[in-house]
Amino acid sequence: MSRIGNRPIDIPSGVNVDVSGGQLRVKGPKGELAAPIPEGIKASVVDGSLAFERPDDSKPARARHGLARALANNMVVGVSEGFVRRLEIEGVGYRADVQGNTLNLLLGFSHPVKMAIPDGLKVSVEANTKVSIEGTNREVVGQFAADVRRLRPPEPYKGKGVRYSDERIRRKVGKAGS
């Protein structure tokens, strides 16, 4: 059984954590994030670390306990270090570029695909095929990366499409010629 909720979160220097009114606010060098604390969970800052307590050992309370700790840890890491998701585009003529607040993608469709970059994210493109998505909120970074990947997921025969840089595509053998 997981004991994630019982582990305290060490607060790095330069990061301020404020717990008040059921809200958790984290402010650091990369930005500021706020989130509600799940009901029944108590958060407290003691000796430079953030700790969470649950009222009892019921299954919903245990689940919310681990959730609150994981979300708070993501907030602390986000404002101190930030999150990065890297995508690779593979295919003849497939490429990307950023113009202002828009990510332009050419992915083999008859038209270019334009995606608005959400607030708080920084998107950069290297060599027309490597896209880096950076931000403080892990959920927003991951969701935008998933939305870009969903446009043209990698296919198993030639490997064409958009994939995460650490993703391995299982390749299939094409049909055998006679």
What's the whole-model pTM score?
A: 0.88
Task: Give 87-143 pLDDT, tens digit per residue.
Answer: 999 989 999 999 999 999 999 999 999 999 999 999 999 999 999 999 999 999 999
How would residue 2 be classed by pLDDT, with cut points 50, 70 and 90? low
Task: Give 140-164 pLDDT, tens digit per residue.
Answer: 999 999 999 999 999 999 889 999 9
- What percent of the chain clears pLDDT 70, i.e. is strictly above it? 98
Residue 178: the pLDDT is 61
Backbone φ and ψ for 63, nearest 5 degrees, come out as -65, -45
Q: State the angle between helix axes of 138-151 and 59-80 in degrees (0 to 180), rounded to the nearest 10.
A: 90
Dihedral of alpha carbons 157, 158, 163, 168, sign: positive
169 contacts 159 by C-beta, under 8 angstroms: yes
Q: Which domains does the chain have, with CATH numbers?
A: 4-80 (3.90.930.12), 83-164 (3.90.930.12)
Residue 147: the pLDDT is 95
Residue 55 pLDDT greater than 70, yes or no: yes
Residue 171 pLDDT greater than 80, yes or no: yes
How would residue 3 be classed by pLDDT, with cut points 50, 70 and 90? confident
C-alpha distances (whole Å) from 1 to each of 7, 59, 68, 137, 157 are 14, 11, 17, 28, 40
Residue 29 pLDDT greater than 50, yes or no: yes
Q: Across 29-160, where does the E strand assignment appear?
A: 31-36, 42-46, 49-53, 83-90, 95-99, 102-106, 113-116, 121-126, 130-135
